Each structure stands twice: as C-alpha cells, then as structure tokens.
C-alpha cells in the first residue's frame, strides 16, 4: 500500500477515535473541580453535578434529567410497570476507612498469631490510629471506621476458650478512640478470620457454631448499650462448601448478639466468595442470608456486608483500577436489594495512587450515592498500621503541624467522596 494511503487511513483513524472520545459513557466522570476530560455524555445519559468535585453521566432511566421529545397524540395509550422500584439518589450514610493492626498475623485460612497483632495506637508502639481517625473526621468529614481483629487475639489462641478480658480491653482502647472522634461516628467490630480458625471452617468441620457464638456474645455484652457500635460478623468468608450451613452459623452469631442485650445495633451479614458484591446474589449468599432474622423474626438492622476492589482480579493487590464495578456488580446488586427491600454496606474497597483509580473509584462512589436507598456507604482499605508505601495505603502522615495525605491520587478520591456523605 502506498505510504500516502497509509498516512490517510491513520489520520482518519485518529480523527474517528478523537471524535468518539469526546463522548463520555454512562456513569463515567464528565466534570468537576480540576477535571480536564470530555464533558459530553452519550445520548442515553446527562452530565449531572453531584458535588463541586465530581460530575457524572447519569443514565436517563436512573435519575438523569434528559431531553425528551413530545409524542404526538394517539387514540391508544399504554402503561408499563418497571421491573423494580426506582433508585433513590442522595448522600451516603457512612463513609470511612479501615484501621488495621489487630488483624496483623492473620492469613486467609484464618490462622492468626495472637502475638503478631499490632494495636494501631501510640501507647502500644503502633501508628497513631487515634490521630488518623480524628483527621479523617475533622478534615474529611468521615463518620465510619472498621476495626479488624483476629479471633485468636481475643481468646489468646484458645479455640472455644473465653474471650480474654485483658486482650478485649486492649482492643477496646481502639474502639474507644474511634467512638471519641465525634458523637456521630460509628465503629465496626470485625472478626477478621475468613470464616475459619486455623483452616477449619466454622460450622463445617472446624469450630462449632456455639464456639463462634460464644465469642460474639461476650463482645456484644460489652457494647450492648452503645448504638454507635456495628457488629461485623466475619471478614470475607471464602470457599465455603455449604452456603446454607454458613447462614446457620451467621444466625447463631446474630442470635447470640441479640440475646446478649445488643437488640438494636446494626449487624453485618457476610456471604461466600470473599463476600463479593459481584457474586453475592449469583452464589446464593443473598438468598441464604435473607433467612437470618432477629429474635422477633424481623430483619431490622441486619445489613448485607459486601466487598469489591477495582483491580483486574478483584484482589486489592494492584495499583491500577480496571473497572468501576457498576455494570458487573453494583447495578445488579442494587436491583436485587431494592426488589427484596434489603440494604448493603461496602466495608472494603480501595484503589492505588493512580489516575485510573481516581477516575474509577469516583465513578463507583458516585453510583453508590445514586443508589443510597440500598447502599449505606463504603469503608476504604486501609489505614492504621500499614506503611504509607503499601499499594492501597490510605495512611495519612502527621507532619507535627497537621496531617497530610502521603499519596496524592488516593487523596483525590478520598477528598471527592466528601460530597457524597450526609
């Protein structure tokens, strides 16, 4: 082929590519403070300012106010019934950060070394978790912190043993630091054992449901009078053979918590496959956990616990974000939750210090806010005792005269999330 023809075709391809790039897809960013990309949405969406930092292409059928043509009158009319109730947009109820440290020494098989737990508090030679939380509350307006802890730490490595008072009191120092940040802050107690103890699955050949429930009974009794405590039953169950048996385990914990006197606090119910938002319905977790009830048979304040990262394999181990999860996870889950009159809380998500994560994290957060009737909020992973160089670090740095973000990219999407919070 002649060189001039090749050049002409290449030029045409560039022009066509540039023209297509001028339109922004549904749920993607189209404006906001500091944004320099294209601002024209595809024809099925409209660019909507959600706050000063972020504008998004909201689909016409999801609350976007799109131009419509006036139909000509006819002698007949039809009505349609939507397949599910409409979404309700608004600020998220909760936004916050995980404060890790008491879970250090735990692996995904639920093997935790109690002595490896590292309290993220200065008095225990850890990072200043208390200062971090105050910074997130005062400077970012956040109001939720998840405080992961290993089961073995609580019982001092004794399966079936009682919760050791001294260990619980040490953990309680972090809980109190969380509660003391502001009168509206909620604190999530999370047992970080992946539905296991040293490889054995609770209620399915490993620890008994009674042993697990006994631990939760002790914890609930300590915090039963505080409405700002949320009980996170278990972090990321995975490869659980029988989801209905797992729901029975969760029911045992819920019953123990309620019988201990914590009758009104929120309880988070986790599903299989790392409690992934993408597979929560398809793998049977939603249906099985829907049968978990309070003592009176209601499901009040029983909320589904879901996680979702944005890297290529959903592991939360890589700096680049390849998806905003909307089409594959959040939109289908929102429909199911709305149809079944349930809610979910995204207690783990995160992204790296990259442009791709700035874009896609903001898109994900904005979608959750657009569906805040079913999504209560999100908690990023993670601050606490992580080193600022950790790939998903949200650890701020205390300069002595104030706190600053260690990584600019994460600062952007954390900062922008303020506009989606009550």
- Does 15 map to a domain? no
Q: What is the pLDDT of residue 224?
A: 98
The separation between CA 247 and the C-alpha centre of its own chain, rounded to angstroms, equals: 21
Cβ-Cβ contacts under 8 Å for 297 (sequence gap 6 or more): none
**pLDDT tens-place string over residues 273-284:** 999 999 999 999
Q: What are phi and psi of 303, to 5 degrees?
A: -115, 140
Q: Can you read off the two tokens belonging to residue 221? A: 């009794």
Global pTM? 0.83
**pLDDT tens-place string over residues 45-103:** 778 765 555 677 777 766 554 544 333 333 333 333 334 566 666 789 999 999 999 99
Same domain, 259 and 177: yes
Q: What is the pLDDT of residue 280?
A: 99
The fraction of the chain above a pLDDT of 90, given in percent, is 66
Q: What is the pLDDT of residue 81?
A: 33
Selection from 5-9, 20-24, 243-247 with the highest mean pLDDT: 243-247
Per-residue pLDDT averaged across 341-357, rounded?
94
Sign of the dihedral through C-alpha 301, 194, 349, 145:
positive
What is the rounded CA–CA span in Å between residue 321 and residue 349? Answer: 11
Same domain, 172 and 279: yes
What is the rounded CA–CA span in Å between residue 257 and residue 99? Answer: 23
Evaluate if residue 118 carries a pLDDT over 50: yes
Q: Are 369 and 91 in contact (CB under 8 A)?
A: yes
- Does 81 map to a domain? no
Which of 2-6, 149-153, 291-295, 384-388 comes out lowest in average pLDDT? Answer: 2-6
Q: Give the number of domains in the chain.
A: 2
Same domain, 409 and 292: yes
Same domain, 105 and 33: no
Q: What are phi and psi of 305, to 5 degrees?
A: -100, 115
Q: Of the candidates 369, 398, 410, 381, which has an alpha carbon nearest to the alpha carbon of residue 315? A: 381
Q: What is the pLDDT of residue 294?
A: 99
Q: What is the pLDDT of residue 54?
A: 64
- Name the more confident of 51 and 38: 38
For the question of residue 348 being annotated catalytic, the response is yes
Residue among 26, 109, 320, 348 flagged as catalytic: 348
- Does 18 map to a domain? no
Q: What is the pLDDT of residue 69?
A: 34
Evaluate if residue 255 carries a pLDDT over 60: yes
Same domain, 110 and 198: yes
Same domain, 48 and 135: no
The radius of gyration of the chain's CA atoms, rounded to the nearest angstrom, is: 23
Angle at 171 between CA 254 and CA 221, to 5 degrees: 35
What is the rounded CA–CA span in Å between residue 398 and residue 406? Answer: 9
The fraction of the chain above a pLDDT of 70, given in percent, is 82
Q: What is the pLDDT of residue 50?
A: 59
Residue among 236, 363, 394, 416 flagged as catalytic: 236
Cβ-Cβ contacts under 8 Å for 260 (sequence gap 6 or more): 216, 217, 218, 220, 221, 224
Cβ-Cβ contacts under 8 Å for 24 (sequence gap 6 or more): 30, 37, 38, 39, 40, 41, 42, 45, 47, 57
Per-residue pLDDT averaged across 225-231, rounded?
98
The CATH number of residue 359's host domain is 3.20.20.80
Beta bridge partners of 404: 397
What is the rounded CA–CA span in Å between residue 402 and residue 268? Answer: 34
Q: What is the pLDDT of residue 209?
A: 99
- Does 375 map to a domain? yes
Which of 71-85, 271-285, 323-337, 375-389 comes out lowest in average pLDDT? Answer: 71-85
Same domain, 32 and 175: no
Evaluate if residue 381 carries a pLDDT over 60: yes
What is the rounded CA–CA span in Å between residue 104 and residue 114? Answer: 9
Which of 71-75, 130-134, 271-275, 398-402 comes out lowest in average pLDDT? Answer: 71-75
- Does 9 map to a domain? no
Q: Give me the half-sphere count of Cα atoms (radius 13 Å) on the Cβ side of residue 272.
A: 22
Cβ-Cβ contacts under 8 Å for 8 (sequence gap 6 or more): none
Q: Looking at residue 204, what DSSP letter applies?
A: T
Per-residue pLDDT averaged across 137-163, rounded?
96
- Does 367 map to a domain? yes
Q: What is the pLDDT of residue 63?
A: 53
Same domain, 99 and 226: yes
Evaluate if residue 43 carries a pLDDT over 60: yes
What is the rounded CA–CA span in Å between residue 156 and residue 116? Answer: 11
- Name the more confident of 27 and 174: 174
What is the rounded CA–CA span in Å between residue 332 and residue 329? Answer: 6
Q: How far is CA 401 from CA 47, 113, 371, 397, 398, in A?
A: 40, 36, 39, 10, 7
Range of the domain at 37: 24-64
Per-residue pLDDT averaged across 336-365, rounded?
94
Sign of the dihedral through C-alpha 271, 274, 275, 279:
negative
Query: Assign residue 49 a region: left if phi > 0, alpha if psi is -120 to 50, beta otherwise?
Result: beta
- Does 6 map to a domain? no
Evaluate if residue 104 carries a pLDDT over 50: yes
Output the DSSP codes for 128-163. -HHHHHHHHHHHH---EEEEEE-HHHHHTT-TTPPP
Mean pLDDT for the chain? Answer: 87
Sign of the dihedral through C-alpha 245, 250, 255, 256:
positive
For the question of residue 320 being annotated catalytic, the response is no
Q: What is the pLDDT of residue 125?
A: 98
């Amino acid at each position: 082929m002649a060189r001039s023809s090749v050049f002409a075709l290449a030029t045409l391809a560039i022009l066509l590519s540039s023209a297509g790039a001028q339109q922004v897809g549904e749920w993607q960013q189209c404006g906001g403070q500091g944004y320099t990309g294209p601002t024209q949405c595809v024809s099925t969406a409209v660019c909507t300012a959600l706050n000063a930092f972020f504008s998004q292409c909201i689909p016409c059928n999801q609350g976007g106010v799109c131009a419509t043509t006036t139909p000509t009158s006819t002698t007949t009319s039809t009505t349609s019934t939507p397949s599910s109730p409409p979404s309700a947009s608004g600020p998220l109820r909760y936004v916050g950060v995980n404060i890790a440290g008491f879970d250090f020494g735990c692996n995904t098989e639920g093997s935790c070394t109690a002595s490896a737990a590292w309290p993220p508090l200065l008095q225990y030679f850890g990072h200043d978790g208390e200062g971090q939380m105050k910074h997130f509350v005062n400077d970012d307006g956040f109001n939720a912190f998840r405080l992961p802890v290993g089961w073995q730490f609580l019982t001092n490595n004794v399966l079936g043993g009682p919760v050791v008072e001294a260990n619980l009191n040490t953990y309680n120092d972090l809980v109190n630091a969380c509660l003391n940040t502001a009168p509206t802050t909620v604190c999530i107690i999370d047992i970080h054992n992946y539905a296991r103890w040293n490889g054995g699955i609770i209620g399915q050949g490993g620890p008994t449901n009674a042993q697990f429930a006994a631990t939760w009974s002790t914890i609930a009794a300590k915090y039963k009078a505080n409405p700002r405590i949320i009980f996170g039953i278990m972090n990321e169950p995975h490869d659980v053979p029988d989801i209905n048996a797992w729901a029975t385990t969760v029911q045992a914990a819920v019953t123990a918590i309620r019988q201990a006197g914590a009758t009104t606090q929120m309880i988070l119910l986790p599903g299989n496959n790392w409690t992934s938002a993408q597979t929560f319905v398809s793998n049977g977790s939603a249906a099985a956990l829907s049968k978990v009830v309070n003592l009176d048979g209601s499901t009040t304040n029983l909320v589904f616990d879901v996680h979702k990262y944005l890297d290529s394999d959903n592991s939360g181990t890589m700096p680049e974000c390849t998806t905003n999860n909307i089409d594959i996870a959040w939109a289908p889950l929102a429909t199911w939750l709305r149809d079944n009159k349930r809610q979910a809380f995204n207690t783990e998500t995160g992204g790296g210090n990259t442009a791709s994560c700035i874009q896609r994290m903001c898109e994900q957060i904005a979608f959750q806010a657009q569906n805040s009737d079913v999504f209560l909020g999100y908690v990023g992973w993670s601050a606490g005792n992580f080193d600022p160089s950790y790939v998903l670090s949200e650890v701020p740095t205390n300069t002595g005269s104030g706190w600053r973000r260690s990584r600019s990219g994460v600062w952007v999407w954390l900062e922008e999330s303020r506009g989606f919070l009550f």
